[in-house]
Amino acid sequence: MNQRRSVKMNLFANWLNHGVSLVIGVFLMPYVLHILGDAQYGSWIFINAIAGYSGLLYLGFGQTISRYVAHYHAKEEWDKLNHVSNVIFAIYLGMGFLALTTAGIIAWLAPHLSDWGTISLYEIRLVILILGLNVFVGLAGSVFGGVLMGIQRFDIERGVNLTGGILRLILTVLFLKAEWGLLTIAVIFFVVTLVENLGQFYFAFRKVKTFRIGPKYLDWSILKECGSFSGFAFIDAIAWTLIEATDSIVIGIFYSPAAIVPYYIALRLTQFINMPIAQIGKVFMPRAGELHANEEHQALQKLVLNGVSLSFLLVTGFFIGVCFFGNTLITTWIGPGYPQSYLLLMILLGARIVALPVSTFRSVLYGMGNVKIPSLIYMSEAIVNLILSIILVQSLGLIGVALGTAIPILIAELGIILPYAMKKLNISTGQLLRTAIGPTVAPLLMLLAYSYYLPQFIEVQNSWITLVGVATGGGIFLIGTWFVFDRGTVLLHRSLSKSLNT
């Protein structure tokens, strides 16, 4: 019971953090866009997309430290916990210096990367260098966040990030101006990253009394134990980076940084919806490792099916809402002038209906230490994504980039990863449909009816008050119906079980 409550509390902490982050992001994006304009804001997205490849410098150890800290913490093997943490910390320091060097090279090559228009090349180069320093701090400090996640203190880890998000909001509102706007944003990002990582450093030592950092804990033999996991997690990181960061780069190269903005509006809305739902899998990963270590197979099955059910319910519910009110949302949020963003949003979010529930399966497999096949499949998906995006952007423009992302997701996630994961977890198709998908059908149909008939009685205007009211009503309708239906299904199963036993 305490373990179950721990998972729920961690999930709540993640959702609270991302809920506030969502509100901050919803405010900041149009605020920054309107101050900087399409050209400067598109350049910021383009540079950040390039900086996104710095995620490869984590070499897969981000997931490794969380998994192995959870494992050693559960078994109270404190020396091994310190060995893993220190070795990864040393590796990240080296990767941080590599990031700084790479930032210097990219800054030097900046004139050849894109047409920056009227933006000062000096400012572009300074921004790139500061983001390189930001990567260095983030790499080194991520070890301490990994320790907090490994001991399942998501409340603290997310609380620190939440504080950073609020600080970013305050600094942006106070200091951002059109002149030297890119440099101002870069400095703000660096300050916030520094504050966040100092906070995680403090709490990691406070919550794990036996945690130590020092040369005497550098036992490189520990890499033999976790190296295989890290290697395939690194492949997974490459795939994630190709999928998440490449679209903006492709658009920036074939068109211009300003052309990225309509696509990024749809992508950002998709990410806002994705972030809280994706936390289901992230919270479940260390818990899955714990259950797998204790050979609690039935509890593991129940964990993943509950996660898939909730993920499918939420992402499909958001998709239904976007189908009916997406255009109004974009116009209210950003303003007129981005009509293409609605169709792009439908394509990108539609693919998440498959991707997010399956990601819960993938996270549980990772928690079990099963990373090889899922990572290779994910990498294949990313390569196809890149190739399709480059091919389709030339004939279909931004729509082609979106389709280049969606098509591989549908094929790889639904057709390959899902059957593989179900086999590994010994979950049948009937069990998946009955336990995970079945309870969501009635609530989603009710939400569909709500979304269809509501505009016939109420005029949905370009107003935040109206949209929040519509969304709140839809959310209450969806979750309330799901709770009633799911509770009725549980009672029915219990009644049938008692009848069969009798």
Tens digit of pLDDT for each residue in 428-459?
999 899 888 988 888 899 899 988 888 887 77
pLDDT of the residue at 262: 92
Residue 493 has pLDDT above 60, yes or no: no
Alpha-carbon gap, residue 413 to 417, rounded angstroms? 5
Average pLDDT of the segment spanning 246-272: 87
Amino acid at residue number 398: L
Percent of the chain with pLDDT over 90: 22
Q: How many angstroms from the chain centroid is the CA of residue 317?
A: 18
pLDDT of the residue at 160: 86
Q: How many angstroms from the chain centroid is the CA of residue 328?
A: 25
Asked whether 150 and 203 are in contact (CB, 8 A), the reply is: no
With bands split at pLDDT 50, 70 and 90, how would you rate the model's confidence at 393? very high
Q: How many angstroms from the chain centroid is the CA of residue 314?
A: 15
Residue 277 has pLDDT above 90, yes or no: no
More confident residue, 286 or 189: 189
Residues 6+ apart with CB under 8 A from 476: none
The pLDDT tens digits for 221-257 are 777 766 666 666 677 777 777 777 788 888 888 887 8
Residue 11 has pLDDT above 70, yes or no: no
Alpha-carbon gap, residue 326 to 102, rounded angstroms? 40
Residue 430, burial from CB neighbour count under 10 angstroms (0-12, 13-18, 19+):
exposed
Residue 196 has pLDDT above 70, yes or no: yes
Average pLDDT of the segment spanning 40-68: 78
Token pair for residue 285?
């990963």
3-class DSSP state for residue 62? helix
The sign of the dihedral angle between the CA atoms of 16, 18, 20, 26 is negative
Residue 497 has pLDDT above 50, yes or no: no
Query: How many residues are recorded in the chain?
Result: 502
From the list 168, 193, 222, the residue with the least C-alpha distance to 51 is 193
DSSP single-letter state for residue 120? -
The pLDDT tens digits for 351-388 are 999 988 998 888 888 777 777 788 788 888 888 988 99
pLDDT of the residue at 2: 41
The sign of the dihedral angle between the CA atoms of 349, 355, 356, 357 is positive
pLDDT of the residue at 8: 57
Q: Which of 68-82, 158-172, 476-490 has the largest mean confidence?
A: 158-172
Q: What is the mean pLDDT of the chain?
A: 82
Per-residue CA distances from 36 to 40, 43, 336, 428 (Å): 5, 10, 17, 52
3-class DSSP state for residue 294? coil
Range with the poorest average pLDDT among 121-130, 147-156, 428-437:
147-156
Alpha-carbon gap, residue 170 to 188, rounded angstroms? 10
The pLDDT tens digits for 305-333 are 888 888 899 899 999 999 999 998 899 88
From the list 167, 228, 168, the residue with the least C-alpha distance to 375 is 228
From the list 147, 287, 289, the residue with the least C-alpha distance to 207 is 147
Alpha-carbon gap, residue 270 to 247, rounded angstroms? 14
pLDDT of the residue at 18: 60
Alpha-carbon gap, residue 11 to 19, rounded angstroms? 12
Alpha-carbon gap, residue 381 to 244, rounded angstroms? 12
pLDDT of the residue at 492: 38
Percent helix / strand / coil, the chain, rounded to 5: 90, 0, 10
3-class DSSP state for residue 445? helix
Token pair for residue 502?
């009798």
